[in-house]
A and B are shown apart, each in its own frame.
Chain A
C-alpha cells in the first residue's frame, strides 16, 4: 500500500499493468508534498491509499510501513493478548498454577538428569547448579511454549484472517507476548524461591540479562513468524514442531553445560543459537560473571578451551536479530496469500 495525496486528483492513469510492472508515477513522493509518505495514516479522512497487485515500495519504506502498521494496531495486539490469557485461565482448574507447571516439570526433569550424571561422573549436585539449570529451563519453556502456540496461531484463526483486515503478524506476536507473560509469572515465582535457597546475591552483572532477554525474544519471534506462516501452507508443520520441541531440549544445553562435551563438542553445541543465550543467562545471573570475559575450562586431556566467549553471544545476536528482520519481511510478503489458502 502506498499513500500519496495526488492520486485521485491526478487520475493520470499510472496503474500497475497485468504483469506487475508499474509506471514510474507511483513510487516517488510527489514534489508538491514531500511528507506524503511519512504520514501514512489510513485513518485520516483526507488521506488517500492505494491497493494493487504489487508492492511498489522498496527498501526502507516497506519497513516503515510495517512498523507503522504494528504501532497503529497495538490496541488490537493488546486485545488479542488479553483474549489468549483469559482463555487460558478461565475455567481452568489450576488457573495460574498452570503457568508454573512447564518450568517446574523441566526443572524436575533436569534435577533427575543431573543426579544421574553426578552419580556417573562423581560430581556433586548443589543448589547453584540447580538454580543455573532452572534459569535455562525458564528460557527454554518460554521458547518452546511460544513456538508451540504460534505455529498454530494463524491456522486456527483463519476465520478472522478471511474476514477482517489487520496485519497478520499480530497472531504470532500475540502468542509470543502471551507466553512471555506466562513465563514471567510462573518463572518469577520459581526464581525467587531458588534465589532465596541458593543464596544468590544481586550483582551488577545482572544487567546483562536485559540485552540477552531481548535476543531471546527476537529469536523466538522469528521462529514464530516463520512457523506460523509455514503452517498455513503446510498443515503438518505444527506436528513437526511438536516433535522437534520435545527432543530439542536435549540438543540444547539446558540440563547440562556445554563443557561436558570437550573442546570440539562444546563448540558445536554453541552453534545452536539458543545455547549462547541460555548460557549467558546462567552465567550472568547465577555465576555473576562478566560476559565479556571468557570462561576457560580444562578438558580430560588437559587442553584448555573456552567454554564461554563473547563471540558466541555475538553470533547468537546476529542470528536472532537478522533472523527476526528476515522472518518479518518474509511473513509480510506472504501475508496476502493467507486468505486464499484456507
Chain B
C-alpha cells in the first residue's frame, strides 16, 4: 500500500441542516458578498505519505484529534481525500467498529450473517466459518435469541468474533480494542498477534502503547494531521509520550521555604540513569531523586522523606533519609547539601505518580509537609515478561527472586 500526499479538509461551523434554513442562509451569503474566510476550513490531514509492505504491521499513534480516525476512514474508502491518493494492492478490510449493523431485534445467527455481509464476507465464506465464529464468541446456547437480550460482553464478543474471521490481505484496525473488559482485550490482542503472525498486512491505530510495541514492526506518529515521526515502535512511542506528557513540566522544582528554619530544601530534582533531568522514566531504569538544601542548625536528627503516591492520592510508600542505622550522619553538618535516593527499576508499574516531601526532626516535629511537589510518569518500554495480565495487576511490582529450591 502506498499513500501519497493525502490531505483532507472539513468545513467548520454549522452546516445547513434543513431546507428551511437553506433559503435565509443563501440570502445571507449573497448579502455579505465576501469570499470564504480561511477558518471555515479545517485540515484534518495534511500531506500524509507513507508506504506499507506486504506482511508488515504498521502502528499509528497520536493524540486525540491528530487525524488518526480520518486517515483510517480514507483508507477504508469511507471518506474521499481532498488531495493526494492512495494505492492498494490486495483485499482491504477495515474494522472501525465492532458489531457494525447489529440490529437488536434480530437473533445472533441472523446478525452474524448480516454483520459478515456488511464487513465484506461472502455467503459461502460465512457458512464455512459459522461454527468457528460461534465457538470463538462462546454464545452457543444463545444463538437464536434476539441480540437485545445479550449482555454487553456477549455482544462485543460476537461482534469481534465475526470480524476476527475476516481474512483480508490488509487489515485496518481502529482502537476497537478499547471497548470490553480485560479478558476481552487480551483475546483481541491474542487474535491480532495471530493475524500478524500469519503474514498479513495490518495497520493498527491505538492508544495502547504496549500493544503497539508488541505487535508492530513500524510506527507513525501523527500530530495535528502531519506525520511527525516514523520508525521503530519504541522510538515513536517515546516521542509520543514525550509530547503527550511533557505539558511543559520539567524534572526540577524550586521550593520556597522559610530560610530561617533549621533545615530548608531549595530544589527537588528527578533524574534518570543517564543523569538527565526529566519526568519520564522507563520501567527498566531507576528513578533518581536529588534533593538540594541547607542545614542551618546542627545537632538535630533531621529526616527528609519522600512520599510516592498514585494519581488518586493513595500513598504507595514513604522513603526517608533515616533508613540506614548511621544515616543521621548525612545531615549532621551545617551548610549546603545534596542528597540522592533511588527507586529501584522494575518496581513501579507504568503510570503517573505524585511526589510529596516531608522535612522533620525525628520524634520531635514536622517542619514541612508538601503533598504534591511534582509528578512523574513511568512507561513500559521493553517487552513484558509473562503476559500482560500478570504484570499490570497491583500497585507495585517488586522483583521477588523466584527460584526453585527442590
Contact = CB atoms under 8 A, between A and B. Distances in A.
Interface of A: 1, 7-8, 11, 15-18, 42-53, 75-76, 78-80, 82-83, 86-87, 90-91, 159-166, 233-237, 240, 336, 339-341
A87 B91 contact: no
Contact of A46 (B7, B85, B89, B110): B89
B81 A164 contact: no
Given A17-B83, A159-B100, A164-B100, 17 more contacts: A15-B5, A18-B7, A18-B82, A45-B90, A50-B87, A50-B88, A53-B81, A53-B83, A82-B110, A83-B114, A86-B106, A90-B146, A164-B119, A235-B18, A240-B19, A339-B73, A340-B79
Given A52-B86, A76-B117, A42 B91 contact: yes
B89 A48 contact: yes
A42 B122 CA distance: 13
8 contacts: A15-B4, A15-B85, A16-B85, A86-B106, A164-B76, A235-B18, A236-B18, A237-B19
A268 to B, nearest CB: 27
The 7 closest A-B pairs by CB, nearest first: A52-B85, A336-B80, A79-B117, A236-B18, A165-B77, A76-B117, A51-B86
Nearest to B83: A18
B83 A163 contact: no
A8 B85 contact: no
A45 B169 contact: yes
Interface string B76-115: 1111111111111111001011001101011000100110
Interface residues of B, number: 49
Contact of A50 (B73, B85, B97, B117): B85
Contacts of B91: 42-45
Interface of B: 2, 4-5, 7, 10, 15-20, 22, 73-74, 76-91, 94, 96-97, 100-101, 103, 105-106, 110, 113-114, 117-120, 122-123, 146, 169
B106 A340 contact: no
B30 to A, nearest CB: 19
B88 A51 contact: yes
Contacts of B101: 160, 164
Contact of A235 (B17, B89, B146): B17
Of A163, A234, A236, the most chain B CB neighbours within 10 A belong to A163
A163 B16 contact: no
Given A163-B97, A164-B96, A164-B100, A47 B81 contact: no
Contacts of A44: 91
Given A83-B103, A91-B105, A341-B15, A50 B123 contact: no
A336 B122 CA distance: 24
Nearest to B86: A51
Contacts of B118: 76, 79, 160, 164, 166
B10 A340 contact: yes
A164 B78 contact: yes
B86 A75 contact: no
A52 B88 contact: no
Nearest to A54: B80
B84 A53 contact: yes
Of A49, A78, A80, A161, the most chain B CB neighbours within 10 A belong to A49
Contacts of B10: 340
A8 B96 contact: no
A33 to B, nearest CB: 15
B321 to A, nearest CB: 57
Nearest to A14: B85
Contacts of B106: 83, 86-87, 90
Contacts of B119: 164
A86 B87 CA distance: 39
A163 B87 contact: no
Contacts of A164: 76, 78, 94, 96-97, 100-101, 118-119
A165 B93 CA distance: 9
Contacts of A18: 7, 82-83
Contacts of B97: 159, 163-164
Contacts of A87: 103, 105-106
A309 B216 CA distance: 71
A138 to B, nearest CB: 28
B9 to A, nearest CB: 10
Nearest to B90: A45
A86 B10 CA distance: 38
A47 B87 CA distance: 11
Given A45-B91, A339-B78, A86 B113 contact: no
Given A16-B85, A48-B89, A79-B114, A8 B2 contact: yes
A91 B146 CA distance: 11
Contacts of A340: 10, 79
Contact of B79 (A49, A80, A236, A336): A336
Contacts of B77: 1, 51, 165
Contacts of A163: 78, 96-97, 100
Nearest to B20: A236
B36 to A, nearest CB: 16
Contacts of A82: 110, 114
A161 B2 CA distance: 25
Contacts of B103: 83, 87
A236 B16 CA distance: 11
Contacts of A80: 114
Of B2, B113, B118, B119, the most chain A CB neighbours within 10 A belong to B118
